[in-house]
Structure 1
Amino acid sequence: MTRAQLVCVLLGLAIVAALTMLRTSDPPLLKFAREVTFDEYQRLAPRPFEVLPVRVVDIDEASLEQFGQWPWPRDRMADLVDRLTEMGAAVIAFDILFAEPDRLSPRSVMRDVGDLDPALVARLPDNDETFARAIAGKPVVLGFGLSNSGNYRPPVKAGFAFTGESPFDAPPRLAAATPIRPELETNAAGVGHISLNPESSSAVVRAVPLLLSDGEQLYPNLALEALRVAQGASTYLLAGATDVADTITLIRVGDFVVPVTAAGELWLYVSPDRPERYVSAAEVLAPGSAATEARAAIGGSIVFVGTSAAGLLDIRATALGDNVPGVSLHAQTVEQILSGRFLSRPDWADGLEILSVAVAGSLLVLLTTFVSPAVALACGLLITVLALVASWLAFVHGGLLFDPLAPIVFGSIIHFAATAYRFLVSDRERRVVRRAFGQYLSPSLLYRIEHTRNALRLGGDDRELTLMFVDVRNFTEISERLAPTEVVHFLNRLLDALSHHVIDNEGTLDKFIGDSIMAFWNAPVDVAGHPGKAVHAALAMRETLARLNEADAFGFGDERKVAIGVGIHTGLACVGNMGAEIHFNYSAVGDAVNVAARIESACKDIGFDILVSETTAKALGGCALLDAGALPLKGKTTRTRLFAVVGGKALATSPEFFELQRIHGQLIAALQVRSPDTRRILSMAKLKAGGLAPGLEEFYRRIPRRADHFPAEETERGGAGE
């Protein structure tokens, strides 16, 4: 390497470092360029318009011409609600503020006249009361806006459950809200905010905040609340990132899963504005047969009531460059959720783009310095094309938003600087200016979220669950030997390692009870084959604990190994939000929960680490099970038959387990009749059990003491491998 080449490389890498730091800081100009790029993607491939059960009842110019200027008296709004309900609207959501008393009420008008008997005035109709009576008992959602003054907080008509860390600091802040008339907010089925981009300085609405937060309570937006009321759901379920605090990744409402940004915003994937989306309010209020077309459009639909009249100033710009009524964006939000066509910008997108600037920039510096300008230019163009194609394909096929512009522009700057130096200093004889655009983007690993389109029923549903209890053996003895902080460190290390297997197998972590874990499957969403997933999680826990013990992860040395007991039962339980109005947990209660807990305790008597009930055993496929007897569990009037989980499918189909299964059946039969061959058969079982699974030796050592757990009047199986 010549001195000129060394200087060129060092200068180029210094520029790469400076531009990488600039991209890391992400100044407003870069954000704007990135957003414009994503707008162009939508213009090239907008979300196709689909006829979905979502409509906008538009208070348009024709409606104002027929029924008078805005605001309309609220008795007319009551008529609108009655007509929409009669037409079969699934939900009626108002993108309209009802903050002040109706000044057109007869009572208000006559009160201002003066010199009238107050008692007579009090008997006059009040439009707010009329409107409140009209919405009572109907699926009506009212909207509230943001305010810079006051301390009003709107009522929240739904519950919120969340996994992971508290999400209250993730959404945009709600300092104060425009009040809703008390009689209206009381009778509304739902309340949601109508703000489309409260924290954005851009006039283009690109992302809609589905939630707002005041630090103590979450507030859904109008579209999300309308979707909840339409399904009769009572609770929102929020999922956050396991490794990042104050983030939201998913919102589940009823049957739908909505991927969102860390702040709980939905990237709008808009479709062209179409007349089919709108129904004029004048048509809805038209008498008799004149409303036939409106009736066909409204029936079974989620209806948003708003205005497109230019003088009412509710016109918004979209990524497609269209100016549309704000209410249509609420409707498009629901359309997007119903269609399942989402856009997302993964949390790691910024990191990938920053890395691409550094890697592509460094590569371009080396190419420009050590190869010919033509080769460097060709490589830069190739990288640019690959970056653009990869970014476009990610958008079209995965709805993923990756910015190709900043890496390409920065790569161009880097390449230009290195080429200019070579042109002016180290390669003057050639005098060729070379430019290239570069970005390094690996499309081999794309982000993916499983949508579960199954029922989400919260608030106390009876469901068949598979419940698991996990408990640390001899925890009292362990805690006596450790300082309190060491006990906490031990539990955090152990429970974190074990609980990951619950999540990996689609389970729900209910709670940690001291040194115990409670988990369940098949709620809040349906999980196919949930008994098998629970058992697979238990087997994975066994393997993880063995690795931790082998590596002395807890620092106990060889003298003490950590052991657990796992009890699993499948049965009917009540699952939902439980607790007080100010604090509740999503949990399960019922006899099935108690049975699972008792089975876990029975592990101590049986001498084996994983036990399942007969109900769970019958639902399993591909597991190696051995009959552990029928035990009288505490609180149960009848015995409960249990099975020891020896291993998974590989062991269940092995000749060694088939042989052990046969001998186990002989052993149970011998125990039932007190056969003198019991000891010989037991020795054979111990011999066959060696090495198949940890703990089987202790399991067989205790069996003679548990002969009463195998009553002769019952027909027992030796095991289960199906």
Structure 2
Amino acid sequence: MTRTQLFGVIVGLVIVAALTTLRASDPPLLRLARDLTFDEYQRLAPRSFENVPVRVVDIDEASLSEFGQWPWPRDRIAALVDRLSELGAAVIAFDILFSEPDRLSPRSVMRDVAGVDPDLLGLLPDNDEIFARSIADRPVVLGFGLSNAGDYRPPVKAGFAFTGESPFDAPPRLTAATPLRSQLETSAAGLGHISLNPGSRSAVVRAVPLLLSDGGQLYPNLAIEALRVAQGVSTYVIAGAPDIPDTITLIKVGAFVVPVTATGELWLYVSPDRAERYVSAGQVLAPAGASSETRAAIEGSIVFVGTSAAGLQDIRTTALGHNVPGVSLHAQTVEQVLSGRFLSRPDWADGLEILAIAVAGILLVLLTTFVSPAVALGCGLMITALALVASWSAFLYGGLLLDPLAPILAGSITHFAATAYRFLVIDRERRVVRRAFGQYLSPSLLYRIEHTQDALRLGGDDRELTIMFVDVRNFTEMSERLTPGEVVRFLNTLLDALSRHVIANEGTLDKFIGDSIMAFWNAPVDVADHTGKAVRAALAMRETLARLNESDAFGFGSKQTVAIGVGIHTGVACVGNMGAEMHFNYSAVGDAVNVAARIEAACKDVGFDILISDTAAKAAGRCALLEAGSLGLKGKSTRTQVFAVVGDERVAASPEFSELQHLHEQLIGSLRLRFRPRREIVNAAKLKASALCGGLSDFYRRITRRAEHFAGEQMAVENEGRSAE
């Protein structure tokens, strides 16, 4: 890992930590985005309407047109209760506030008339008393609202049993309520608050608080109070989380268990508004009596009485984006409980989403820094798809609300930041490397040097290299017959074709010197089997040159063919960036480089196109090699043994080469003893050689004239012995 990469990882992790902390703090904007995501889920798969025994008796426009404007006198509300009771309603719950005296009551009207006898007032009917008598001993639940003034608390008609820690500080706070008429409050079987989203700034009702608390007493919602009265039970069971105070996990109402949030809210799983849910109040109060369809809808049902009439300001917005009467949301709350179809956001959801942001962010930072932005983008898209599929599946099949948006958004920001850093800093350094080495290295080596620290440091290192020199034979004579433009075209064609094999075998092109190529292996990064790869590159050059000559790629016709000499040596050289700080070349210098150049020059004398030193021969693996003698190279005090490269491992394993090698050893044995080899052995070697490699013919024609190259070592030993004497 380079320092730049390390700094990039640190910057990326800081961004991930910041995003994780931001999600943990859960700012309003993230909450809104999460809510909108869950709204979209409900729009894609809303709760289907089920014909459970829950109905809304709607004081709609038709009812007001027939029975007069709102508010109705409470003797008419009493008549509505009487009629619903006759039709068999299990519970009648009013989403209407009865906090003020009925101003349409005869007693109230006459009280404002001057000169009326007070005794006479006592004989006049009072609509509140009529309404109170109507609801007495009947399953009627009245609603109360919240107030910002006073300290009134409504009486609680039910008891509460608790499991776990105290839940009194968990629900939303009730500071004061709007007082009900005392006779109505006393006569009602149940009282429940009608607030749907107290304290929420959003107009969308997504969750309904089933309980409110003043710190010492709990107050039920209208919906669950109606459900309690319908079952005839007297107590709610509130379950809290073990060892976690101020937390509610579920509410048990009779036979029904309702999962809730930690604050006692029920996530609304909304179904589209349906006409089957409503019964017009005018149909219930019809003078001729209710129809059979109305009786069937009301009988045995939990009935909520409310209004959808325009101007009465009881219209709410659901997660589906629909505007519906507020009373229908109370009804839908009970529908959810009866059908058992709930939505829930588990306690571990926040932790899972925070963990997902951290893990995905770290993964994207590492992939972007060490692999590539494209791979990181692919993984990011996979993470996005996985998050969406997992979140949608959890909602569809388990009713779980898991937010995919926060991890996706955090991952996108992390990937963008890490990619920008890589492009501006890390890849800038690698682009410099590519400009310096792109024409001289294979893609695999280039990738490795890009990821090597201090790749372009000025200076050199001593390391074992395999060095190759390639030279065109008789180039001076050739260039005399060609125009300068033809010489350039010839060199471009030849050098391009030959240098490709250096790159393909993970070599480094050092330089072009006129008609020559210098290349080396095992730098700037380690290359396994570097000598073997250099030899294979040379053999590939031989084959390529043969094809170029056969196809007349140089335009010389059949009169002239192009030949090359290749010298290879393995030894220690100094390799690195050499030159000035602002302008340098990556090259190798040293005795090993000189030896390789001298071996290439010796190809002319030996009569063969590819020669390698003995050190290269030992490291070349199982290639087909023939001893070519010991050469006295210029500038070297000792002779250098060289070998002719006949072919690769496949050739070395062939029976033909084994036979040639046997004949060759006999020849070398005779030459080493300073005997002239028998003619039949030379002819047999030439015959075998022509079948394996055409270039060996000239090699064997010259071999008898090069006896000193094979006896040279023995002569050197004898000379040293005489000097000692």
Please say whether Structure 1 and Structure 2 have the same fold, judged by a TM-score greater than 0.5. Answer: yes
Q: Cα offset for 1:289?
A: 4.8
1:122 partnered with 2:125: no
Question: Whole-Å Cα distance in 2 between the matches of residues 402 and 129 of structure 1?
Answer: 51
Contact map agreement 1:260 1:344 (CA 8 A) in 2: yes
Write the deviation string for residues 215-257 of structure 1: whole angstroms up to 9, x where unpaired. Answer: 1100000000000000001100011100311100010001000
1:166 partnered with 2:166: yes
Q: Cα offset for 1:429?
A: 8.2
- Structure 1's 224 and 102: CA in aligned 2 closer, same or farther, altered over 3 A? same
Q: TM-score when scaled to structure 1?
A: 0.59
| Map of 2:7 onto structure 1 | 7
Contact map agreement 1:423 1:430 (CA 8 A) in 2: no
Paired residue secondary structure (2:69)? coil
Write the deviation string for residues 498-551 of structure 1: whole angstroms up to 9, x where unpaired. Answer: xxxxxxxxxxxxxxxxxxxxxxxxxxxxxxxxxxxxxxxxxxxxxxxxxxxxxx
Contact map agreement 1:285 1:291 (CA 8 A) in 2: no
What amino acid maps onto 1:259 in structure 2? P
| Map of 1:61 onto structure 2 | 61
Q: Cα offset for 1:122?
A: 1.2
1:388 partnered with 2:383: no
Contact map agreement 1:249 1:259 (CA 8 A) in 2: yes
Question: Whole-Å Cα distance in 2 between the matches of residues 199 and 379 of structure 1?
Answer: 41
Contact map agreement 1:94 1:306 (CA 8 A) in 2: yes
RMSD: 1.1
- Structure 1's 104 and 387: CA in aligned 2 closer, same or farther, altered over 3 A? same
What count of residue pairs does the alignment treat as equivalent? Answer: 431
Contact map agreement 2:165 2:246 (CA 8 A) in 1: yes
Question: Whole-Å Cα distance in 1 between the matches of residues 353 and 372 of structure 2?
Answer: 27
| Map of 1:246 onto structure 2 | 246
Paired residue secondary structure (2:321)? coil
| Map of 1:473 onto structure 2 | none
What amino acid maps onto 2:403 in structure 1? D
Write the deviation string for residues 9-36 of structure 1: whole angstroms up to 9, x where unpaired. Answer: 0100011111111111111000000000
Question: Whole-Å Cα distance in 1 between the matches of residues 352 and 61 of structure 2?
Answer: 49
* 1:340-355 superposed matches below 5 A: 340-355=340-355
Paired residue secondary structure (1:156)? coil
Paired residue secondary structure (1:100)? coil
Write the deviation string for residues 67-93 of structure 1: whole angstroms up to 9, x where unpaired. Answer: 111110000000000000000000000
Aligned-residue identity in percent:
81
Question: Whole-Å Cα distance in 2 between the matches of residues 236 and 373 of structure 1?
Answer: 57
Write the deviation string for residues 643-662 of structure 1: whole angstroms up to 9, x where unpaired. Answer: xxxxxxxxxxxxxxxxxxxx
Question: Whole-Å Cα distance in 1 between the matches of residues 224 and 290 of structure 2?
Answer: 32
After the TM superposition, which parts of structure 1 deviate over 4 Å for at least 4 consecutive aligned residues?
none
Q: Cα offset for 1:373?
A: 2.1
| Map of 1:237 onto structure 2 | 237
| Map of 1:224 onto structure 2 | 224
What amino acid maps onto 1:78 in structure 2? A
Q: TM-score when scaled to structure 2?
A: 0.59
Contact map agreement 1:193 1:221 (CA 8 A) in 2: yes
What amino acid maps onto 1:241 in structure 2? A
* 1:325-344 superposed matches below 5 A: 325-344=325-344
Paired residue secondary structure (2:304)? strand
| Map of 1:44 onto structure 2 | 44
| Map of 1:32 onto structure 2 | 32
| Map of 2:147 onto structure 1 | 147
1:106 partnered with 2:106: yes
* 1:552-631 superposed matches below 5 A: none
Q: Cα offset for 1:290?
A: 4.8
Question: Whole-Å Cα distance in 2 between the matches of residues 290 and 270 of structure 1?
Answer: 30
* 1:386-535 superposed matches below 5 A: 386-428=386-428
What amino acid maps onto 2:271 in structure 1? S
| Map of 2:363 onto structure 1 | 363
| Map of 2:286 onto structure 1 | 286
- Structure 1's 290 and 261: CA in aligned 2 closer, same or farther, altered over 3 A? closer
Paired residue secondary structure (1:93)? strand
Q: Cα offset for 1:287?
A: 2.4
Paired residue secondary structure (2:316)? strand
Question: Whole-Å Cα distance in 1 between the matches of residues 386 and 19 of structure 2?
Answer: 21
What amino acid maps onto 2:123 in structure 1? R
Contact map agreement 1:308 1:314 (CA 8 A) in 2: yes
Question: Whole-Å Cα distance in 2 between the matches of residues 107 and 407 of structure 1?
Answer: 65
What amino acid maps onto 1:158 in structure 2? A
What amino acid maps onto 1:365 in structure 2? V
Question: Whole-Å Cα distance in 1 between the matches of residues 235 and 260 of structure 2?
Answer: 17
Contact map agreement 2:55 2:279 (CA 8 A) in 1: yes
Contact map agreement 1:343 1:400 (CA 8 A) in 2: yes
Contact map agreement 1:95 1:306 (CA 8 A) in 2: yes
Question: Whole-Å Cα distance in 2 between the matches of residues 430 and 82 of structure 1?
Answer: 87
| Map of 1:157 onto structure 2 | 157
Write the deviation string for residues 333-360 of structure 1: whole angstroms up to 9, x where unpaired. Answer: 0000000000000111111111111111
Question: Whole-Å Cα distance in 2 between the matches of residues 151 and 328 of structure 1?
Answer: 30
Q: Cα offset for 1:375?
A: 1.4
Question: Whole-Å Cα distance in 2 between the matches of residues 226 and 430 of structure 1?
Answer: 72
What amino acid maps onto 1:304 in structure 2? F
| Map of 1:189 onto structure 2 | 189
| Map of 1:177 onto structure 2 | 177
Paired residue secondary structure (1:249)? strand
What amino acid maps onto 1:235 in structure 2? T
Question: Whole-Å Cα distance in 1 between the matches of residues 97 and 296 of structure 2?
Answer: 28
Contact map agreement 2:165 2:243 (CA 8 A) in 1: no
| Map of 2:135 onto structure 1 | 135
Contact map agreement 2:100 2:181 (CA 8 A) in 1: yes
Q: Cα offset for 1:327?
A: 0.1
Question: Whole-Å Cα distance in 2 between the matches of residues 290 and 279 of structure 1?
Answer: 11
Contact map agreement 1:93 1:143 (CA 8 A) in 2: yes
Question: Whole-Å Cα distance in 2 between the matches of residues 294 and 302 of structure 1?
Answer: 14
Write the deviation string for residues 392-447 of structure 1: whole angstroms up to 9, x where unpaired. Answer: 1111111110101011101100110000011111114899xxxxxxxxxxxxxxxx
Paired residue secondary structure (2:346)? coil
Question: Whole-Å Cα distance in 2 between the matches of residues 127 and 396 of structure 1?
Answer: 50
